[in-house]
Amino acid sequence: MVTAQTLAPHQGSLTFFTGPMACGKTLELVRHLQIFREQQIPLICLRPSIDTRTPTVQSRGGLLHDAIAININDFSAIRDAIDAKLVIGIDEVQFFPTEIVSLLETELRRGKTILISGLDNDFRGQMFPTSQAIMALPETIIQRSRAVCSVCRQYNATRTQRLRHGKPVPIHDPQVLIDDLADGVTYEARCLTHHEIT
């Protein structure tokens, strides 16, 4: 668990809350950010502006935290936003380019506490490049969670299933879809047995 002790000078930490859809990644991010907010520690939470679902970071259980929507390719704006903050939160990190990793390393060297959440794997079961790069950092504390499989209802889901009008999408679907709900696309957590690739 991330505590205020991780704010010691020159002792940066990076915690990555990851797993499939509906496993509590954002819930953990928001819960930890609220601890630092209650301590009145300067913090910021970023989310990619391409995620248009909500203006805040919100868990499925309804827990909210204010977030700044930011252009994922504007590293100057990202640096400016996080510069004076001791705690940095990032939601949906899988949407950011892999170049974000060098920025995270710089902030670790500056003694920052970094809390991020995002999917580890895409609907095919392949790792998102940015998630993979973050997990490869030796400093990263990985907190991977499981979810309840939407088919068998067991707490063993490790994968995210993309559906279009209730049917699994073909493997050649793009890794990232923008405004996917308009096309009847939904996502659900699935275990290995019930995860389908067509």
86: domain CATH number is 3.40.50.300
Count of other CB atoms within 10 angstroms of residue 50 = 16
**Radius of gyration of the CA atoms of the chain, in A:** 17
What tokens does 128 get?
């998102």
Residue 121 within any structural domain of the chain: yes
Per annotation, catalytic residue among 92, 99, 105, 107: 92
The one-letter code for the residue type at 73 is N
10-residue mean pLDDT profile of the chain (198 residues): values are 54 94 93 92 88 55 63 88 93 95 94 96 97 95 97 98 94 81 86 95
Which residue, 44, 40, 37, 117, is CA-closest to 79?
44
The one-letter code for the residue type at 119 is L
Residue 130 within any structural domain of the chain: yes
pLDDT at 179: 58
pLDDT at 51: 60
pLDDT at 103: 95
Residue 186 within any structural domain of the chain: no
Domain that holds residue 57: 4-144
Residue 61 within any structural domain of the chain: yes
Global pTM value: 0.86
pLDDT at 181: 61
pLDDT at 9: 56
What tokens does 60 get?
């499925």
What tokens does 29 get?
């991010």
Catalytic annotation present for 92 = yes
Residue 118 within any structural domain of the chain: yes
Residue 183 within any structural domain of the chain: no
**Angstrom distance (rounded) from CA 162 to CA 124:** 9
Q: Which residues contact 91 (CB under 8 A, 6 or more apart)?
A: 26, 29, 45, 46, 47, 51, 57, 67, 116, 117, 118
Residue 134 within any structural domain of the chain: yes
Supply the DSSP string of 7-68, one letter for each residue.
GSTT--EEEEEEESTTSSHHHHHHHHHHHHHHTT--EEEEEETT--S-SEEE-TT--EEE-E
Q: Are strands 185-190 and 167-168 parallel, antiparallel or unpaired?
A: unpaired
Residue 13 within any structural domain of the chain: yes
pLDDT at 198: 87
Contacts 24+ apart (CB under 8 A), 165-174: 168/196, 168/197, 168/198, 169/123, 169/198, 170/198, 171/124, 171/197, 171/198, 173/123
- The total number of structural domains in the chain stands at 1
